[in-house]
Amino acid sequence: MKFLSLAVISTLALAVSAAPAKTNTKAKVAILGGGVSGISAAKNLVAAGITDFVIVEARDELGGRAHDIAFAGKRVEKGCNWVQGLGTNPINEMAIKWGLKTVSDNSDNVVFYDNKGPINATDTYNAFWDAYDAANNIAIKRNKTDQVDISVRAALDLSGWMPQTYVEQAIEFYGFDWEFAETPDVSSNFYAYVNADSYDGNFGSDSDGNNFVIDQRGFKYIFLQEANQFLKPNDPRLLLNTTVKNIKYSDSGVVITAKDGSTIQAEYAISTFSLGVLQHNDVTWTPKLPEWKLVGLDGFHMATYLKLFLAWEKPFWDLNTEYVVYADPTTRGYYNSWQNLNGPGFFPQNTTSNIFFVTLTQDQAYRVEAMADADIKEEVMEVIRSMYGKDIPDPSDMYVPRWHSDPLYRGTYSNWPIGELEQHHINMKAPVQRVWFTGEAMSRDYFGFLQGAWIDGGEVGTKVAQCVKSSCPKQPYYPTIKLANETPSFVKRQEWL
Residues in binding site for FAD: 37, 57-58, 244
Asked whether the beta carbons of 85 and 449 are under 8 A apart, the reply is yes
Pairing of strands 244-249, 254-258: antiparallel
> How far is the C-alpha of 64 from the C-alpha of 271, rounded, in Å?
13
Distance CA 451, CA 37 (A): 9
CB 351 within 8 A of CB 412: no
Q: How far is CA 386 from CA 8, 18, 116, 145, 327, in A?
A: 43, 50, 6, 49, 11
Taking the C-alpha atoms of 180, 185, 188 and 193 in order, what is their torsion angle to the nearest 10 degrees? 50
Cβ atoms of 359 and 307 closer than 8 Å: yes
3-class secondary structure, 76:
strand
Query: Is residue 394 within 8 Å of 377, Cβ to Cβ?
Result: yes
Q: How far apart are CA 148 and CA 458, in angstroms?
A: 32
What three-state secondary structure class fits 313?
coil
For residue 494, give Cα distances in angstroms to 461, 488, 491, 497.
Answer: 57, 17, 9, 6
| Residue 97: closest CA among 224, 227, 230, 222 | 222
Rounded CA separation 98/91 (Å): 11
Annotation: binding site: 37, 57-58, 244
- Reference 275, options 458, 445, 428; nearest CA is 428
The candidate with the shortest Cα–Cα distance to 266, out of 242, 288, 290, 247, is 247
Element (H, E) at 137: helix 122-144
CA dist., res. 163 & res. 5, Å (int): 51
Sign of CA dihedral 87, 93, 96, 99: negative
- The torsion angles phi and psi of 405, rounded to 5 degrees, stand at -85, -5
User: Environment class of residue 330 by beta-carbon count within 10 Å: exposed (0-12), middle (13-18) or buried (19+)?
Assistant: exposed
> Please, what sign has the CA dihedral across residues 409, 101, 222, 208?
negative
